[in-house]
Structure 1
Amino acid sequence: MNRLPVADRSAVRRTAAGLLVRDRRAAAVVLVLHGTAAIVGLGAPWLLGRIVDEVGAGAGVAAVDRLALAIVGCVLAQLLLSRYARYAAHRLGERAVARLREEFVSRTLALPVSVVERAGVGDLSTRSSVDVANVGATVRDVVPTIAVAGAQVSLLFGAVFLLHPLLGLVALVGIPSIYAVTRWYLRRGTPAYLAEGAATAELTDALTTTAEGARTVEALRLADDRIAYGRERIHGAWVTRRATLRLRSVFMPVVETTYSLPIAAVLLLGGILLSEGMVTLGEVVAAALYLQQAIDPIDRILQWTEQAQRGFASLTRVLGVGQVPPEQLGRTCVPTDRRLVLRGVRFSYDGRRDVLHGLDLEVRPGERLAIVGPSGAGKSTLARLLAGIDAPRDGVVSIGGCPVSALDPAERRRRIALVTQEHHVFIGSLRDNLAFAAPSASDEDMLSALDSVGADWYAALPAGLDTELGDGAKRLDIAQAQQLALARLLLADPDVMILDEATAALDPTTARRTERALAAVLVGRTVIAVAHRLNTARDADRIAVLVDGRIAELGNHDDLVRAGGAYAALWRSWHG
């Protein structure tokens, strides 16, 4: 499996900064609100120290009440400012995440189909779900929390310095151990969380492919093999999660035991300074309260550091999707006609062993060509090359004189369409599913396309074209989904239609009826059909017989049967 790449640190930093720069005014408002709330929060401990000094000096109840009311005012002001600051930060984060999601979808849709297939379902689905959610939580919650908490810590320690420089210096006693363990954690955290993300992707892929192929697994008695494979992936995920847990089990205890050191040191030194008359009791109390108050933002910074590491690792994976070269190699070539030509085509999936060997073939405009051959001969691979999903290792596949794989993706899809045995029914109405192929198609066009492929089941739908399909709604069986895909093909109306076992899910009678209906509406269009049912091949203008990745025979049905070669053997086997 070829995993999708991950982005480097510089790309992550640029993207993270860009998310905030795009909404700089809102970001400034969030910082101002949080900063003001932090400054207002400094008032309560200072006022409480004043109360201690006033009481010690014999002040009356009225003076203490005024200071107490001021404390209440500071607390209420801080509460209101913090509330609106969090609200503004949440809105800022949600807008940033929305942009990130939209960009991720755009990058994903630009991926070449071959890259998606080789990366596997698990990697891409994990990036689009778990990783995007992690990044969303980081942008929405972690970044504002760490920024604001950092400002609060700076102000609180600054306030201690203002009370007395020696108290401020002693208050820093816990910083070296926190700095050391945090650096140790950050240096190891990103690789550990990247490994955890990759292991999760492999586990998701294992579970998804096993669930999707459950019938095959049962039919071939592969349950034990798939269970063993799943256990290996679970073990891999467990190992990587234990690694991140081991980091946290060192990081958190060291930090938490450090919190009490500055307070104890300030109280100890404060007692000495108080005895020398260098500070008042109220100043010592205020300093201790400031340090006690600093525990909460420091704790928030360190607790969110883990999520920040997850978010950073996830962002590298999300941005990595954009590092795959987009599905376009050139835009200058414009096909002059609909002639599809292969010259000296060789192809290999692993870069070493060819599965297609020097193919030469020309498909004339309007021709119906059938591709037949034994299993493993390379028929589906040839269909993918003709459709431009894969590019040949050597040689060229061209339409109208232009290499197919070098066409702009939109132009290629307009000219060439591939329908396989695998079909997807999108969540939405039947009309929505058909409109993917032709957004401007009328209801009459859609119904005509359904009729042409024999999809008479649509007449029994409760709301006709407005019937909702997919999970939680009307579910189409495999045969119906295949007919839906064929109806989309008719609506798309490309120059070249490639059908790779496109009627395999239909029963023989329905398949034959569908093929005849398609033949009637596809007159004049170029149709290439990969066929296991040789009745489909018999109706074609020409038949290409593929054996071991080479075209062994080429001709019409009658000529090939009379020749007594590979096709004749297949035909005799087909008819018993």
Structure 2
Amino acid sequence: MAEPKDVRRATTRLIRADARSFTAVLALNSAAAIAGLAAPYLVGRIIDEVRAGHGTTAVDKLAGAILIAATAQLLLARWARYVGHRFGERTLARVREDFVDRTLALPANVVERAGAGDLTTRGTTDVALVGTTLRDVGPELLISSVQAVFLLAAVITLNPLLGLCGVLGFGGIWWALRWYLRRARDGYLAEGAATSDVAEILTATVTGARTVEALRLEEKRIAASRDALETSRRTRFHTLFLRTVFFPAVDMSYVVPVATVLLLGGVLLQHGAMSLGSVVSAALYVQQLSEPLDEILMRVEQLQSSGASFARVEGLAQAPRATDTGAPAPANDLIEVTGVRYAYDRGGEVLGGVDLTVRPGERLAVVGPSGAGKTTLSRLLAGVDAPTAGSVTVGGVPVVALGPEQLRRQVVLVTQEHHVFLGTVRDNLRIAEPSATDEALWAGLTAVGADSWVRRLPDGLDTALGDGGSATDGSQAQQLALARVVLADPHTLILDEATALLDPTTARHTERALAAVLQGRTVIAIAHRLHTASDADRVAVMENGLLTELGTHDELVAADGSYAALWRSWHGERPGAPG
């Protein structure tokens, strides 16, 4: 969450990025405000002319001047809004681009901790509120502020005493505004956080719907959703309460300065210190102040909401970024895991001291029961997370110290969770290698057995995927992800159940095809299908966060330990049975 000073600094940066348009908006608004001052003054002149008994000629000229001034104000205000809205749209585009850049620069573990719901809310609801402020609230607030300043200056010019009374009469608005601003930012920040929590819980429930049903967690998820909704309701009612106190107090405060100016103006008129026309002009100016002030106060209320949203959007700048750390290039592809321990923030220790060396070009299978720490180990090997203790190095360099581009060329983690991006098949593949030729794309698809169904698509590589395009099932999405791996051509590939969504025959074909393509590369496979282990050079067995066995398939079967038991179970053999 960005601090207020950070939000102000970001706002200043956005204004400087389009300073010419912002200056034009200021100039046009000032001109429109000056044109708006003419009407009350000319009305006062008309009253004085009539009282003096002058003819209708002077009145007609003054009325014509009022019409000209009103027309000029209309045109200038419209032009100012047009320039202001264009300024707002360009600035909003910069905010969105910064948000996307910052989100893509977040390390994977930061994204996971933040949750899809929070990032989605920041990128949609919060960015939309910021956009509304930049496009509508900002220009309107600027226009109203300029108008209010010029109106106050006009009253003071007519009579400093009346101007002072008018300013003091608006004191009630000042106190109401102070009361509101002290509470509003925290209230809207709490409301935004509660909205993110609702989105996070709903997203997690929908994504894991099958798991929820399988484990009969429906009541718990419903209860969690109700708690989040109740918290959201309370935060929204709190901000509503602030508005219901603030706006009525402001409305009452508008009456006081007008009444004060009329009463004091009447006294001055009786003593000959002011003309009737000047008193009417001053009263009209003060009355007109209510419109820009009302607009300002309404926009200030919106600024509290959008300011809280901007703090959440700008808060991504405070998050750690996946940037090049300046670490030296690895001397070789040797992976060494030394005394590694790892514990998640909200749980106990998952890895309790793992030592492992993976030789360049080796095919290593990591097996073990669920919860043994296999996936956690794969994340540490891929540099997604840093070990709590110990080290994971490649070529003598800590994996977590490698920059994004260097890491992508060195180690790639492929899980069973895959995403098909909006765009063509070609776009989806070139994410891994933007300069890849069509020949290279087809070679990558062929390597994972996906070329046949891609050739059947209406436009081949140019076929649009996702919403509005051709649909892809889970296995096809996995094959596209594996084809991207082939194109990325990393030194080390970590497969964490990467073929789990494929049927056994296709999975085995894909794994063997990958093995052939990645010949000479290091492949670490986290596997439940033990045929993957039987094809590997060595097998590592994980149990309760520890590496308990390490050797070839034949050696571990002959040792008759945990791996042998898993192998017999995989083949449906009874413990102790021959074979």
Q: Taking structure 2 as the reference length, what is the TM-score of the superposition?
A: 0.96
- Of 485, 503, 507, the match for 1:507: 503
SS in structure 2 opposite 1:345? strand
Q: 2:97 aligned with 1:102, yes or no?
A: yes
Matched, 1:31 2:58: no
Structure-2 separation of matches of 1:227 and 1:111:
31
Q: Confirm or deny that 1:246 pairs with 2:276.
A: no
Q: Measure how far apart 1:146 and its partner are.
A: 2.2
CA distance in 1, matches of 2:408, 2:364: 20
Contact 1:338/1:495, CA 8 A, preserved across alignment? yes
Deviations 1:350-377 (A, max 9, x none): 2873211221111111111000000000
Instruction: Say if 2:29 and 2:142, in contact at 8 Å, map to a contact too.
Output: no
Aligned pairs for 1:44-55 within 5 A = 44-55=39-50
1: CA distance, partners of 2:164 / 2:332: 81
Q: Distance in 1 between matches of 2:358 and 2:82?
A: 63
Structure-2 residue corresponding to 1:3: none
Alignment of 1:339-488 (within 5 A): 339-350=334-345, 353-455=348-450, 456-488=452-484
Report the CA distance between 1:64 and its aligned residue.
1.2
* Aligned partner of 1:60 among 55, 62, 66: 55
* Aligned amino acid, residue 181 of structure 2: L
2:557 counterpart residue number: 561
* 1:257-276 CA-partner distances (Å, limit 9, x unpaired): 11121112222222222222
Instruction: Tell me if the contact between 1:19 and 1:96 (Cα under 8 Å) persists in the aligned partners.
Output: yes
- Looking at structure 1, the residues matched to 34 and 137 of structure 2 have their Cα atoms a distance apart, in angstroms, of 21
For the 8 Å contact 2:169–2:260, the answer to whether it is kept is no
Counterpart for residue 521 of structure 1: 517
Corresponding letter in the other structure for 1:258: S
Deviation sequence 1:515-545 (CA, Å, 0-9, x none): 2222222211110000000011110010000
In the TM superposition, residue 401 of structure 1 has moved relative to its aligned partner by 1.0
State the SS of the aligned residue for 2:170: helix
- For 1:493, give the aligned amino acid: D
AA in 1 matched with 2:571: H
Q: Which amino acid aligns with 2:444?
A: A
Measure, in 2, the Cα distance between the counterparts of 1:408 and 1:214.
36
Identity %: 57
Q: Is the 8 A contact 1:501 1:530 kept in 2?
A: yes
- Is residue 167 from structure 1 mapped to residue 147 from structure 2 by the alignment? no
Q: Deviations over 1:43-98 (max 9, x none)?
A: 01111111111112222222111111100000011111111111111122222222
Selected match of 1:317 from 295, 299, 312: 312
* Counterpart code for 1:364: R
Tell me, yes or no, if the aligned pair for 1:171 and 1:265 is still in contact at 8 Å.
yes
Who is 1:538 aligned against? 534
Structure 2 alignment gaps of length 5 or more: 573-579
Deviations 1:431-461 (A, max 9, x none): 1000101111111221221122122221221
Question: Which amino acid in 2 is paired with 1:468?
Answer: A
Q: Which residue of 2 aligns with 1:237?
A: 232
- Report if the CA contact (8 A) 2:333-2:360 is conserved: yes
Rounded to whole Å, the distance in 2 between the matches of 1:22 and 1:431 is: 35
Q: Secondary structure at the match of 1:259?
A: helix
Q: Is the Cα contact below 8 Å between 1:366 and 1:523 reproduced in 2? A: yes
1:450-483 per-position Cα deviation (integer Å, ceiling 9, x unaligned): 1221222212211111111112221211111111
CA contact (8 A) 1:328 1:406 kept: no
- The structure 1 residue matched to 2:252, chosen from 257, 260, 265, is 257
Aligned amino acid, residue 431 of structure 2: F
How far apart are residue 23 of structure 1 and its match? 2.1
Matches within 5 A, 1:138-287: 138-287=133-282
Asked if 1 retains the 8 angstrom alpha-carbon contact of 2:155 and 2:285, the reply is yes
Paired amino acid for 2:279:
V
Contact 1:27 1:92 in 2 (8 A): yes
1:141 Cα deviation from its structure 2 partner: 2.5
- Counterpart for residue 332 of structure 1: 327
- Judge conservation of contact 1:370–1:543 (CA < 8 Å) in 2: yes
Q: Which digits, 9 at most, give the CA deviation of each residue in 1:206-252, with x for residues without a partner?
A: 11112222233333333332222111111111111111111111001
Whole-angstrom distance in 2 between the partners of 1:136 and 1:50: 44
Whether the 8 Å contact between 1:356 and 1:378 is mirrored in structure 2 is yes
CA drift of 1:329 comes to 6.9
Structure 1 unmatched runs, 5+: 1-5
What SS does the aligned partner of 2:379 have?
Answer: helix
Partner of 2:567: 571
Whether the 8 Å CA contact 2:327–2:397 is kept in 1: the answer is no
Aligned to 2:541, the other structure's residue is in SS state strand
The separation in 1 between residues aligned to 2:166 and 2:139, in whole angstroms, is 25
Q: Is the 8 A contact 2:447 2:483 kept in 1?
A: yes
Provide the aligned C-alpha RMSD in A.
1.4
Report if the CA contact (8 A) 2:334-2:358 is conserved. Answer: yes
CA distance in 1 between partners of 2:177 and 2:518 (Å): 67
| Cα pair 1:358 1:550 within 8 Å, conserved | yes
The answer (yes or no) to whether the contact 2:327–2:401 under 8 Å persists in 1 is no
Seen in structure 2, the aligned counterparts of structure 1 residues 475 and 174 have a Cα distance that, compared at 3 Å, is farther
Contact 2:170 2:254 in 1 (8 A): no
TM-score, normalised to structure 1, is: 0.97
CA contact (8 A) 2:198 2:228 kept: yes
The answer to whether the 8 A contact 1:434-1:488 is kept is: yes
Aligned partners of 1:339 and 1:400 also within 8 Å: yes
User: What is the rounded CA distance, in whole Å, between the counterparts of 1:38 and 1:321 in structure 2?
Assistant: 39
Q: Distance in 1 between matches of 2:346 and 2:474?
A: 34
Bigger mean CA offset, 18-27 vs 180-189? 18-27
How many residues of Structure 1 are paired with residues of Structure 2 in the alignment?
571
**271 and 258 in structure 1: CA distance in 2 versus 1, 3 angstrom threshold:** same
What CA distance in whole angstroms lies between the structure 1 residues aligned with 2:316 and 2:19? 26
Query: Partner letter of residue 224 of structure 1?
Result: E
Distance in 2 (alpha carbons) for counterparts of 1:325 and 1:444 = 38
Distance in 2, Cα, partners of 1:328 & 1:149: 44
